[in-house]
Amino acid sequence: MFGGSAAAVALKNRPTHGIRIRPGLSNATPARYDFGMQLSDNDAKYLGLAIEQAELGWNEGGVPIGAVLVHHSKDGDKVLAVGRNQRVQMGSAIRHGETDCLENAGRLPASVYRECTLYTTLSPCTMCAGTAILYDIPRIVIGENRSFQASEEWLRSKGTELVVADDATCIGLMDRMMTERPEIWAEDIGVETSDLRENSADAHTTTA
């Protein structure tokens, strides 16, 4: 998805498959990165709504991950739902940003999902990717995948189009959580906080 040898060099620490967990950074200031996909104006707008949800979730004491489901039709785009990770707020085991958004959208015909884009501030976990695959959502716009990546190869193998924005705001939200509340992040992805520390010695990556 990122062409050119320069990009390949920049990406040398990024695994092409498996799970990546970035355990936390020494500096919570989000870095500006010089690669990532250019978003269309509409994609940027809807990803912005997802970021608003992530920020809202963080301010509620939760995991700062947000999502938006947008339906595309000949009449234009329609935001069907927004959502945010509700693990802390609702004591939920399965309301991640994406699943909360899909739950908020309620029951939809299969034909609608197949004309939607799912926007999410963080690369989907396998649970959320599985939900997107189940409903045949053809396209996912991802705010960033530096902090976590577990499902992109699987999604692509199912024909899902992925757009990775590498957005600095999304990265910053995750940095802040990993620095200030690593325990809620560990819980969210089904690991112990000590697992995150052990991973920190492993170049930010875990392959499973």
Parallel, antiparallel or unpaired: strands 116-122 and 139-144? parallel
> How many CB atoms neighbour CB 106 within 10 A?
8
Which entry of 98, 144, 180, 183 is annotated as an active-site residue?
98
> What phi and psi, each to the nearest 5 degrees, are found at residue 155?
-60, -45
Q: Which of 20, 84, 95, 96 binds Zn ion (CB under 5 A)?
A: 96
Indicate the residue among 79 and 127 with the shorter CB distance to Zn ion. Answer: 127
- Residue 128 lies near Zn ion (rule: CB under 5 A): yes
Indicate the residue among 10 and 81 with the shorter CB distance to Zn ion. Answer: 81
Tokens (6 digits) for 129: 């990717």
Tokens (6 digits) for 47: 């990803």
98 annotated active-site: yes
State the minimum distance, in angstroms, from the CB of residue 96 to Zn ion: 3
Q: CB-side exposure of 98: number of CA atoms within 13 Å?
A: 24
- Residue 20 lies near Zn ion (rule: CB under 5 A): no
Contact between 156 and 132 under an 8 Å Cβ cutoff? The reply is no
Gyration radius (Cα) of the chain, Å: 16
State the minimum distance, in angstroms, from the CB of residue 3 to Zn ion: 28
**Near Zn ion by CB under 5 A, which window of 11-19, 27-35, 124-132, 171-179?**
124-132
- Residue 87 lies near Zn ion (rule: CB under 5 A): no
Q: Please list the residues that pair with 142 across neighbouring strands.
A: 120, 164
State the minimum distance, in angstroms, from the CB of residue 151 to Zn ion: 9
**Near Zn ion by CB under 5 A, which window of 6-14, 35-43, 89-97, 112-120?**
89-97
Indicate the residue among 7 and 93 with the shorter CB distance to Zn ion. Answer: 93
DSSP state of 41: H
- Residue 164 lies near Zn ion (rule: CB under 5 A): no
- Residue 125 lies near Zn ion (rule: CB under 5 A): yes
Distance of CA 110 to the CA centre of its chain: 23
Active site residues: 98
In the complex, the residues that contact Zn ion under the rule CB under 5 A are 96, 125, 127-128
